[in-house]
C-alpha cells in the first residue's frame, strides 16, 4: 500500500513544522511519496517564500539589485536547516539561482525554487531520495499540462522506488524551461503523483482539520465535513470555497483515489474524505455552503418569448460574441435572465445590450448589479423533502430578499441569488437552520 502525502506551506514554514511533518510521515510506513510546498507564513504578518521569490525576480527583471531579497529567502531556508540540525548546505543552489536570475530567468523558474529547495531539505531530513519535478512533470508547447507524457514517465520512474520526495508546483516545458501550475498548484502535483503510483489515498496536509461546511470568515468555527464527493467539492470550490486547488481533483478522480484533507497541527483529527461516491450519509442534510459576490443579472423580456424558437440561443450568442461566460440562466414565460460576473461584464455591457437587441429583438433589457450567488450543496438533498422550503423560510426570517433560485436537475445543489449586502446574513441563516440547530 502506498500513500502520497502533500504538505502545504504553513506545514513547512519552520523547523518546528518540519518536525511535525517528520513524525506524521514516520508514524505510517505507507506514507512513502512526499510532495512539499515552499515555506509559507510562520505567523500572520510573515511572507510566503513564493511571494518573496516573485518579488526577487521582479527586481532582477528590472535590472535592480535583488541581493537583499535573495538573502532574506536564503535565511528562511538556513533557519530550517539549522533548526533540524542537518548537515546540508544550499550554497551551490543559491549561486545557481542568483546566476540564472541575473541571466533573466522568468517568474516561473523563480517561484518554483521555493518548492525545489524545500524538497531538497525534506529529502535530507527524511533520508528519502529527491526527484526534481522538472524531470517527471511535463507541459506541452502551449503551456498546458501534458497528462499522458507525465503519467508515463512518472509511473516508470517511481515504480521501482520505495520512497521519494517530489517538490510540488512545477514541471518543465518541451524546451526544458520551468513552468509552474497556478498558485496553490502543489495540490495538483500531489494528485498527479497519487495517480502515477496508484496510491491507496492522497493525503493533503494543511492547517485546518478538513473542508469546512461554510467560510470561517462568516461562520465562527464551522463544523468540518466528514465525507464529500468530488462532485460536491467541485460545486463548492467553484463557488469560492478553498482548501484544495480546483484542478487537483482531476488526476485522482480518474483513478478513484480518495483525497484525505488533514491538519498537520492536529494529526489525530480524521479530516475530510473526498471520494468519488459514498453511501455514507452526510451528518447534515447539506454538505456545504459557499458563495461569491459580484454578479450582474441581465433581465430580458419579450412578449410571447415562450413560442419563439431560438430566442435563448440568440441572447446567449450576444454574450459569446463578447467573450463573456454566463453563470446561470433562469427563465420565465416571457423573461430570461442571464447571470454574469460583474467585473467581466462591466466594460462590455453596452456592446452586449446592443447585440441582444440586434439578434433577439426583445421588448426590454434591464440590468441589476451587486448581486451574490450562494450554492447550498448536498448529496443528501435528493432524498430529503423540504430542503428548499427550509432554506427559503430561513432566508425570509432573516429578512433576505431572494432574487433568483436555480436548482440543477442533479438535485445536488440549490443556487440562490441575493443582494451583495445580504450575502453574509443569508449564509448564516442557512448554516443555522441546517447545522447549528442540529449540534
Ligand atoms: N508555493 C506555491 C504558492 O504559494 C504553490 C503551493 O503552495 O501550492 O502558490
pLDDT, one tens digit per residue, over 228-256 is 999 899 889 888 888 899 899 999 998 99
150-176 pLDDT tens trace: 999 999 999 999 999 999 999 999 999
pLDDT(181) > 80? yes
Question: How many angstroms separate the alpha carbon of residue 50 from the centre of ligand 1?
Answer: 7
Q: What is the mean pLDDT of residues 331-354?
A: 95
Pick the residue whose CA is nearest to atom 6 on ligand 1: 184
380 annotated as ligand-binding? no
78-94 pLDDT tens trace: 999 999 999 999 999 99
Residue 430 corresponds to which cell in the numbers above?
Answer: 442557512
- Ligand 1 pocket mutation, candidates 6, 9, 49, criterion most atoms within 8 A of CB: 9
Its pTM stands at 0.87
Cα-Cα end-to-end distance for the chain? 37
Query: What pLDDT is stored for residue 417 in this prediction?
Result: 95
pLDDT(356) > 80? yes
- Judge if the beta carbon of residue 167 lies within 6 A of ligand 1: no
Minimal CA–CA distance to 243: which of 220, 276, 218, 272?
Answer: 272
Above pLDDT 90, what percent of the chain?
A: 86
Dump strand ranges (E) for 135-239.
164-165, 170-172, 178-180, 201-206, 227-229
- Judge if the beta carbon of residue 48 lies within 6 A of ligand 1: yes
Please say whether the beta carbons of 425 and 382 come within 8 A: no
Question: How many angstroms separate the alpha carbon of residue 340 from the centre of ligand 1?
Answer: 29
270-297 pLDDT tens trace: 999 999 988 887 788 899 999 999 999 9
Query: What pLDDT is stored for residue 53 in this prediction?
Result: 98
Query: What pLDDT is stored for residue 107 in this prediction?
Result: 97
Q: For the chain, how big is the Rg over CA atoms in Å?
A: 25
- Judge if the beta carbon of residue 168 lies within 6 A of ligand 1: yes
Q: What is the mean pLDDT of residues 121-134?
A: 98
pLDDT(376) > 80? yes
Query: What pLDDT is stored for residue 438 in this prediction?
Result: 84
CA atoms of 410 and 415, how far apart (whole Å): 12
Query: What pLDDT is stored for residue 157 in this prediction?
Result: 97
- Ligand 1 pocket mutation, candidates 46, 76, 112, 115, criterion most atoms within 8 A of CB: 115
Question: How many angstroms separate the alpha carbon of residue 387 from the centre of ligand 1?
Answer: 38
**Exposure letters 167-178 (e unless 16+ CB within 10 A, then b):** bbbbbbbeeeeb
CA atoms of 118 and 194, how far apart (whole Å): 20
Please say whether the beta carbons of 84 and 125 come within 8 A: yes
Minimal CA–CA distance to 298: which of 343, 344, 329?
Answer: 329
Minimal CA–CA distance to 70: which of 100, 40, 43?
Answer: 100
Query: What pLDDT is stored for residue 189 in this prediction?
Result: 98
Strands 335-341, 404-407: pairing kind: unpaired
Question: How many angstroms separate the alpha carbon of residue 174 from the centre of ligand 1?
Answer: 23
CA atoms of 237 and 247, how far apart (whole Å): 10
Above pLDDT 70, what percent of the chain?
A: 100
Q: Which residues pair with 413 in a beta bridge?
A: 377
Angle, nearest 10°, between helix axes 15-26 and 107-126?
60
Cβ of 211: how many Cβ atoms within 10 Å? 27
215 annotated as ligand-binding? no
206 annotated as ligand-binding? yes
pLDDT(261) > 90? yes
What is the residue-averaged pLDDT of the chain? 95
Atom of ligand 1 nearest to the CA of 182: 9
Q: What is the mean pLDDT of residues 71-83?
A: 98
378-433 pLDDT tens trace: 988 888 888 889 999 999 999 999 999 988 777 889 999 999 999 999 999 999 99
- Ligand 1 pocket mutation, candidates 168, 193, 207, 243, criterion most atoms within 8 A of CB: 168
Query: What pLDDT is stored for residue 240 in this prediction?
Result: 80
Q: What is the DSSP letter of 410?
A: T
Q: pLDDT band at 300, cuts 50/70/90?
A: very high
- Judge if the beta carbon of residue 37 lies within 6 A of ligand 1: yes
- Judge if the beta carbon of residue 36 lies within 6 A of ligand 1: no
Q: How far is CA 264 from CA 9, 83, 115, 121, in A?
A: 11, 18, 18, 18
Query: What pLDDT is stored for residue 25 in this prediction?
Result: 98
Minimal CA–CA distance to 314: which of 374, 268, 356?
Answer: 356
Query: What pLDDT is stored for residue 364 in this prediction?
Result: 96
Query: What pLDDT is stored for residue 43 in this prediction?
Result: 93
Please say whether the beta carbons of 296 and 420 come within 8 A: no
Amino acid at each position: 500500500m502506498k500513500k502520497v502525502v502533500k504538505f502545504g506551506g504553513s506545514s513547512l514554514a519552520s523547523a518546528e513544522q518540519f518536525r511535525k511533518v517528520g513524525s506524521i510521515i514516520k508514524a505510517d510506513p505507507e506514507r512513502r511519496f512526499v510532495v512539499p510546498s515552499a515555506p509559507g507564513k510562520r505567523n500572520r504578518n510573515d511572507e510566503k517564500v513564493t511571494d518573496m521569490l516573485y518579488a526577487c525576480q521582479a527586481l532582477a527583471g528590472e535590472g535592480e539589485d535583488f541581493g537583499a531579497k535573495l538573502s532574506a529567502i536564503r535565511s528562511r531556508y538556513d533557519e530550517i536547516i539549522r533548526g533540524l540540525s542537518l548537515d546540508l548546505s544550499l550554497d551551490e543552489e543559491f549561486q545557481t539561482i542568483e546566476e540564472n536570475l541575473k541571466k533573466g530567468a522568468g517568474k516561473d523558474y523563480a517561484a518554483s525554487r521555493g518548492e525545489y529547495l524545500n524538497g531538497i531539505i525534506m529529502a535530507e531530513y527524511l533520508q528519502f531520495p529527491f526527484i526534481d519535478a522538472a524531470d517527471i512533470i511535463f507541459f506541452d508547447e502551449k503551456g498546458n499540462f501534458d497528462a499522458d507524457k507525465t503519467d508515463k514517465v512518472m509511473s516508470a520512474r517511481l515504480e521501482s522506488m520505495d520512497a521519494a520526495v517530489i517538490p510540488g508546483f512545477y514541471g518543465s516545458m518541451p524546451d526544458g524551461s520551468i513552468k509552474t501550475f497556478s498558485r496553490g498548484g502543489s495540490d495538483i502535483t500531489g494528485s498527479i503523483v497519487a495517480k502515477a503510483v496508484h496510491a491507496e489515498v492522497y493525503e493533503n496536509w494543511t492547517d485546518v482539520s478538513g473542508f469546512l461546511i461554510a467560510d470561517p470568515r462568516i461562520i465562527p468555527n464551522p463544523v468540518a465535513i466528514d465525507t464529500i464527493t468530488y462532485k460536491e467539492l467541485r460545486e463548492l470550490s467553484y463557488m469560492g470555497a478553498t482548501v484544495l486547488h480546483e484542478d487537483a481533483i482531476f488526476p485522482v478522480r480518474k483513478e478513484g483515489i480518495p483525497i484525505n484533507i488533514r491538519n498537520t497541527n492536529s494529526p489525530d483529527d480524521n479530516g475530510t474524505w473526498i471520494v468519488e461516491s459514498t453511501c455514507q450519509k452526510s451528518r447534515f442534510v447539506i454538505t456545504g455552503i459557499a458563495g461569491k459576490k459580484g454578479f450582474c443579472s441581465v433581465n430580458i423580456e419579450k412578449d410571447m418569448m415562450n413560442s419563439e424558437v431560438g430566442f435563448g440561443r440568440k441572447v446567449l450568442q450576444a454574450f459569446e460574441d463578447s467573450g463573456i461566460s454566463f453563470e446561470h440562466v433562469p427563465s420565465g414565460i416571457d423573461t430570461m435572465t442571464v447571470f454574469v460576473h460583474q467585473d467581466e461584464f462591466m466594460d462590455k455591457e453596452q456592446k452586449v445590450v446592443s447585440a441582444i437587441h440586434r439578434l433577439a429583438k426583445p421588448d426590454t433589457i434591464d440590468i441589476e448589479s451587486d448581486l451574490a450567488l450562494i450554492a447550498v450543496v448536498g448529496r443528501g438533498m435528493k432524498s430529503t423533502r423540504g430542503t428548499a422550503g427550509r432554506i427559503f423560510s430561513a432566508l425570509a426570517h432573516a429578512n433576505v430578499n431572494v432574487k433568483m433560485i436555480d436548482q440543477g436537475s442533479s438535485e445536488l445543489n440549490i443556487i440562490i441569488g441575493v443582494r451583495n449586502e445580504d450575502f453574509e446574513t443569508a449564509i448564516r441563516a442557512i448554516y443555522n437552520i441546517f447545522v447549528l440547530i442540529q449540534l
